[in-house]
Chains A and B, each alone.
Chain A
Amino acid sequence: MKLNVNPNRMELLKLKKRLALARRGHKLLQDKQEQLMRNFLQFVGRARELRKQVQDKLDQALRKFDLCRLVTPEKFLAAALSYPKGQLKLKVQVSRLLNVRIPRLELEEQPDPFTYGFAQTPSDLDASLKILSETLPLMIELVNVEKTIVILSEEIEKTRRRVNALEFVFIPNIAETIKYIETKLAELERSNINRLMRVKEIMLEAEAR
């Protein structure tokens, strides 16, 4: 669809500049989309790997926890687990990936869950909590990776829409308008030449008379 502009040289020049800019922008956005896609796939692979690790670790920890729970009153386990030493401290940082802002959680301090006595707690509680403590950094990493995937997928979608808009709407419209103006200008040129030729003919006829 051609744009609603006056078909003159000034507009033609402006549109040609805009077309060149749009083509350059389209190329850049396409490159960005490809790079985002590559990163996205890398993060998806990493997330899959991390999720498997976390799942395996949680399975192990819960299996051991079940072994403890089989023989220990619920209240004894609750009392043993409710008072960890220290606090969980997380730091939020923001990094940029292809100019996309990506938040990132970093584990600063992890509480020590081993504040219970050995006399009245089951042996496998230690191993269960150790595995859970090891799992926490992995879970935080998984959160980071999965959040990055969500943000990247939104950005890819946005970029794809921009690329498509440029490729299928903006650039064809400008090109069509340029073509229209060029046709219009050529037509004007031709009619001008015809007019001049006709004037010349009239003048020559007048001289001959």
Chain B
Amino acid sequence: MKEKREAKRPGTDTRYTYAVGRIKALEARLISPGDMERLLDEETPLRSGESLRALGEFPDYSESIAAGDRGVEEVLEEQLRLAYGLLCQLSLGSNVIKVLRLRYDFHNLKTLLKARLLGLEPQGLSRVGFLSPEQMNRVLDEKTFEGGVDPFVAETILLALGRVTEGVALDTIEAIVDECYYETLARVLGVNPFLKEYARKTIDLINLRTFWRLQVMGWTEERLAEGLLPGGSIEEAFFRANFGTPMADVAPKVRDDSYRKLLKDALHAFQAKNDLSVLDKLMDDYLIEFLRKAKSYCFGLEPLVGYIAAKENEVTRLRTILYGKERSLPMETVRELLRSSYA
């Protein structure tokens, strides 16, 4: 009873003490901002194969490179797969880490459903999730899971599958599966106030971004209803009431100060360059900044969530730098879009 009560307060769940200790050690292995800066400052553009060499300078990544004949994307994916695998072990079967990893299973689920609907070969399947693409394919055929699959994972995937009814339109599959995923995310993370706040902020920011994207593209309000995710603090009615109003007028109406500031900065960049990439960056930075508080917690799941976000952040930063160098993009563009470091 006491443990349950403690778990409701951030950073107090003592069940994860070993995990937190291990995470603190692992955090020290994350690539430092200085090393990233050094990689970014190398003047020469990277030719094919040189990205791997650059990546191989970091110990964790060099192990993945040495393990097989892989490209940069495969190595980055492998790092995420290893990080999620480790955290699933450390989190003692907590659904919190599972739900974060499920994002990749849901990606495969959406992709396979769309490919089946069109009768095409599936493209872009990920191996980070719990189920391999082959296993997920079998699940779609048989609607049951083979032994060894975590009951929570099986239940959540079946829940999403149940919502994708026969004859569903191609363009609504993603919306349905995403809605199911974020509903589950909000529910599972809702047991812990800090994580609940994280889930709420994630959903709010995605909804604000969706609203803005629809405005920029001049799409209909129907698409807004499909695209908005449940579980955020900004009501659907707010978006509906302001649909068609320029974003510059909508931003000051958002109640949360931090969102208002973020939107103001994004608007500034959008007006200057007419692209929304800065909004994506500001959103990611905002969430990383929020999760950075978890670094100070000595107990609980929060540092684990912080670590996995940090690993995702590290992978994204590496991708930004390496892709930018491979394509010889202007370094100021790469710097502008480079996410803030968690490390």
Contacts and interface: CB of A to CB of B under 8 A. Distances in A.
Contacts of B1: none
Interface stretch (A4-12, A75-83, A154-162): A75-83
Given A64-B275, A79-B125, A120-B107, A70 B337 contact: yes
Contacts of A126: 213, 216-217
A150 interface: no
B229 A70 contact: no
A63 B313 CA distance: 23
Given A123-B276, A126-B217, A70 B320 contact: yes
Interface size class of B (residues with CB under 8 A): 35 or more
Contacts of A172: none
Nearest to B321: A70
Interface stretch (A14-22, A29-37, A45-53, A110-118): A110-118
B111 A123 contact: no
Interface in B299-343: 316, 319-320, 323-324, 327, 329, 333-334, 337, 339
A127 interface: yes
Nearest to A80: B124
Contact of A123 (B107, B171, B177, B277): B277
B103 interface: yes
A120 B229 CA distance: 12
A127 B217 CA distance: 7
A95 B118 CA distance: 36
Interface residues of A, number: 32
Contacts of A68: 277
B165 interface: no
B217 A79 contact: no
Given A126-B213, A126-B217, A119 B171 contact: no
A149 to B, nearest CB: 33
A189 B230 CA distance: 112
Nearest to A62: B327
A78 B337 contact: no
Interface stretch (B4-12, B143-151, B204-212, B238-246): B204-212
A64 B217 CA distance: 14
Interface string A35-73: 000000000000000000000000000001011111101
A74 interface: yes
B265 to A, nearest CB: 14
B120 A83 contact: yes
Interface in B264-287: 275-277, 279-281, 284
A118 B229 CA distance: 10
A79 B329 contact: no
B188 to A, nearest CB: 16
A124 interface: yes
Contacts of B126: 73, 75-76
Contacts of A80: 124
Contact of A120 (B103, B173, B212): B103
Interface string B53-81: 00000000000000000000100110000
B114 interface: yes
B201 interface: no
Interface in B185-226: 206, 209-210, 212-213, 216-217
Contacts of B123: 78-79, 82
B110 A117 contact: yes
B124 A76 contact: yes
B105 interface: no
B174 A115 contact: yes
A70 B276 contact: no
Nearest to B115: A83
Nearest to A128: B275
B120 A124 contact: no
B170 interface: yes
Interface string A94-128: 00000000000000000010111111101110110
A111 to B, nearest CB: 10
Contacts of B124: 74-80, 82
B130 interface: no
A96 to B, nearest CB: 40
Given A116-B174, A119-B182, A79 B316 contact: no
A78 B124 CA distance: 5
A85 interface: yes
B27 interface: no
Interface string B109-131: 01100110110101111100000
B175 interface: yes
B73 A75 contact: yes
Interface of B: 73, 76-77, 103, 107, 110-111, 114-115, 117-118, 120, 122-126, 169-171, 173-175, 177-178, 181-182, 206, 209-210, 212-213, 216-217, 227, 229, 275-277, 279-281, 284, 316, 319-320, 323-324, 327, 329, 333-334, 337, 339
20 contacts: A64-B277, A66-B327, A67-B333, A67-B337, A68-B277, A69-B323, A70-B323, A71-B280, A75-B124, A79-B111, A79-B114, A82-B115, A83-B170, A119-B181, A120-B103, A122-B277, A124-B276, A124-B277, A126-B216, A127-B217
